[in-house]
Structure 1
Amino acid sequence: MVPKEEIKRTETPKPEAAPAVSKPDVPKVSALSLGSIRAKKELEAQLKPVEKHHDELPTEPFTETQMLEQWVKYANRLGDKGYKILESLLLLNDPKLQGTTIVHELPNESSKIDFEGEKHDLLGYLRGKLHNHNITIEVTINETIEVKKAFTTQEKYDRMKEMNPALDLLRKTFDLDL
């Protein structure tokens, strides 16, 4: 046992009072008076964010390559978040740039509806990244998009020849058969 003389008393420090948070000056008036309505409107006007006019927003020029780069980045971001269907709709084909209008072609009406749900966020992203607030997105539907499948050796060869015409020269040079 320790003798009482050796035990030192330690006092725990008292917490300091938190500094008072100042509230905006709100006049005390009756909730049903004209003064309260006026005070509420003034307070809302003070808290309302300042909106820029359309003429003050940036309209820097950009190229189709810059637009495609940002388009793919946005699509990849959607894919990382788990929105694989929207990612595939954006990467289905490359959009075309006509002035400040981006034309994106989709295969059917249901994919257009899915795309329209994300269009607003995509538009905001592109306007911010490309520093041009005149950008618009137009969606067209092309239901004639069809995937051509090559089944026979001749069809496969013709398809490869479409992709690389030098293949025919290679076949003739080495006298190859199909």
Structure 2
Amino acid sequence: MAIDVVSLTHHDGEEAAALLKELCDAYADAYGVEPGEDKTAAFHRRAEKQFARPGFTLVTARDEGQLVGFVFGFTLPAGDTHWWGGVQPEPTAEFLQETGSRTWVLSEIEVRRAWQGRGVGRALHDAALGARGEERATLATGPDAAAQPVYESWGWRRVGRIPGDEGDYYSAYDLFVLELPVSR
């Protein structure tokens, strides 16, 4: 299962919507849960809302037709954004400014368990971010998530923590930023 046998494909929001069940199955496998469990249902709801957002892009990784991983995200809108709301330590006003073309949110990056640790995640990451025209990318992850050292090794830097909203999976999230374009 070498990374060179995986094919990467970019998709828009309409194509992503058609792939939603397959995305949910890969998401469930990545976390070792059943597709109908609460965690997967929450992913389904989040994903559906994001497909129509400006700048939405999905990149899929397949091996012999099987979806083995994916990454997707969207561009933050101009003006005030909920994304940076309550971040501590509080950054400068310049840092918080969004133009509608400044920041791309890496919303999800998932790889089926059998493919983890084989470079698929990094290939998806680089394919999604390498095609972006924004200045920077951002992502949120649970505090002390196992993925944080991986993100840091890929060049992401932690910029602060935000409180979670009611019903969120975590009560707080760590925010990371990566300057674009991605260089390896």
* Alignment TM-score > 0.5, same fold: no
Q: Which structure's relative contact order is higher, taking Cα pairs within 8 Å and 6+ residues apart?
A: 2
- Larger Rg, first or second structure (1 or 2): 1
TM-score for both structures, normalised by structure 2: 0.25
Greater share of helix:
1
Q: TM-score, normalised by structure 1?
A: 0.26
Q: Greater strand share, 1 or 2?
A: 2
